[in-house]
Amino acid sequence: MADKNSKQPENVPGPWYVDQTCAPCHVCLDEAPALIRYAPGETHSFFFKQPETPEEEAAAENAMQACPTEAIGNDG
Ligand code: SF4
């Protein structure tokens, strides 16, 4: 389960985040390319945009379900 106390610093403010257990493995970027991207150096991913539409919420949920390290969380 993702830890809201260890969020990656680049996440934009809001309920969705990537924490510091990100591998990185690229899976979430395939699920939610409009919301999540790699940080420079590709050491981890982060939310550059919070979901605003039902479709984006679904993409974030899919990314969370697909993440092998459970690094994606929603504390909203
Ligand atoms: S799916 Fe999880 S481990 Fe893989 S890049 Fe995304 S947040 Fe990181």
CATH, residue 12: 3.30.70.20
- 29 in a domain, yes or no? yes
Alpha helices in 1-76 (DSSP H): 27-31, 54-66
pLDDT category of residue 76 using cuts at 50, 70 and 90: confident
Alpha-carbon distance of 9 to 54, in angstroms, equals 26
Q: Specify the pTM.
A: 0.96
Has residue 30 been placed in a domain?
yes
Residues 10-63: tens digit of each pLDDT: 999 999 999 999 999 999 999 999 999 999 999 999 999 999 999 999 999 999
Please tell me if the CB atom of residue 22 comes closer than 6 angstroms to any atom of ligand 1: yes
Based on the structure, what is the number of domains in the chain? 1
- Other beta carbons within 10 angstroms of residue 64's beta carbon come to 19
Q: How far is the CA of 45 from the centre of ligand 1 (A)?
A: 6
Does residue 50 lie within any of the structural domains? yes
Does residue 16 lie in a domain region?
A: yes
Q: Which domain covers residue 14, as residue numbers?
A: 4-71
Q: Is the CB of 21 under 6 A from ligand 1?
A: no
